[in-house]
Amino acid sequence: MTCSAGHDVSRYLSSQLRATQLQPDVSICIFSASFVLAPLVRTVPQSYALKYYFYHRSFSTLIRTRCLIIQFEINIPSNLHPRYITMIRSTEVDGVALIVGSGSGIGKEAAFSLAEAGARVVVFADMNENTATASSEESKKYASRHDYQTSVFKMNVEDEKAVQDMVDFVVAEYGCLDYCVNGAGVDNGTHTPLAETDIENFDRIMHINTRGNLLCVRTQAAAMWKQTPKTWTSRSGTRDIGRGVIVNIASANSFAGLPGKGSYTISKHAAMAITKMSGLDHSADGIRVNAVCPTWVRTPLLDEELRKNPEVQEIISAVCPIKRAAECEEVSDAVTFLCSPAASYVNGAALIIDAALTTTLRLF
């Protein structure tokens, strides 16, 4: 028997295997703590249930299609877990997530992060059914639950009925709605001074980024309102963590402007107002609403902005202290934190993700 996860675990598993009286020609392969322990941990009272795969010694590699695999569970006492599991338990999630604008960019990565953190269900909602379907299938690679489920819902945030149908679908299909991430949005297009604002383009941006966000938050909060509050047991005891969580993908432009991006900046200021008011109005109902506010993020939206406004790349290098745009994962993991019990006292807040840009005055 070989075990690369640690001597204490190895001895413990050895004793358990002897107790089960497995035959000598069965051996165990435990790859590493990062590959096995973290993704497969399931929290249960006073212990962690870890799943291991056994295979016949005659096979040299653990390939499911070639090996006889026997799956079973061993409970490892909780006093072993701190040495091998680095995840903070309160950052786990375990419910039903709805991601609006999940076909690409931050929305897609937020869905992956939630699946990785333990979401039981992730629903990919997007106006582009093909990209949402591709993202939904890809999410299965990152999901940490063996019973993970995912589905796709085609919709447009500009359509009030479609937004309602989306939420109704999730509740009817999966019984509840625990986490919502609203990432649908459009950019400014070509940068122009405010005096030259194209009103038709302004109306389009406000209709999607502001009205669409309001429709989503309103409908999601109404569904969460009807749910039973959840609790979370931690080191300090048991606390109420509410009926549901909503995270809006806002922007650093919710707090500051960028020359030529008037319409987008106005829409993102409004998105922050929606976040604050919904968090305030529904805090007593156990519904938390927060926003992540990144600067530039490496997404298809940024690619389009750079195509139309090549000078933006120079601006990023000049004003960003670390000289680069954020990666989607640097934003999506923050979204998952806000959804988790670890953030149960955070409501109506903005998490600025900007490498300290907005705290710095730089001339360019």
**CA–CA distance, 137 with 151 (Å, rounded to integer):** 9
Give the dihedral sign, CA 255/258/262/265. Answer: negative
Report the 10 Å Cβ neighbour count for 346: 14
- Confirm whether 230 is a catalytic residue: no
Q: What angle do CA 280, 214, 171 make, to 5 degrees?
A: 90
Spatial contact of 290 and 344, defined as CB atoms under 8 Å apart? no
| DSSP characters over 54-88 | EEETT-SS--TTTS--EEEEEEEEGGGGGGT--S-
The pair phi, psi for residue 183, each rounded to 5°, is -120, 5
The pair of structure tokens assigned to 359 is: 């705290």
3-state DSSP assignment of residue 303: helix
Residues whose CB is less than 8 angstroms from the CB of residue 264 and which lie 6 or more positions away in sequence, other chains included: 187, 188, 205, 209, 251, 253
**CA–CA distance, 340 with 91 (Å, rounded to integer):** 5
Report the 10 Å Cβ neighbour count for 214: 19
**CA–CA distance, 73 with 147 (Å, rounded to integer):** 15
Selecting among 230, 268, 276, 308, the annotated active-site residue is 268
Distances (CA, A) of 70 to 52, 262, 292: 9, 60, 43
- Confirm whether 268 is a catalytic residue: yes
**Catalytic residue list:** 264, 268
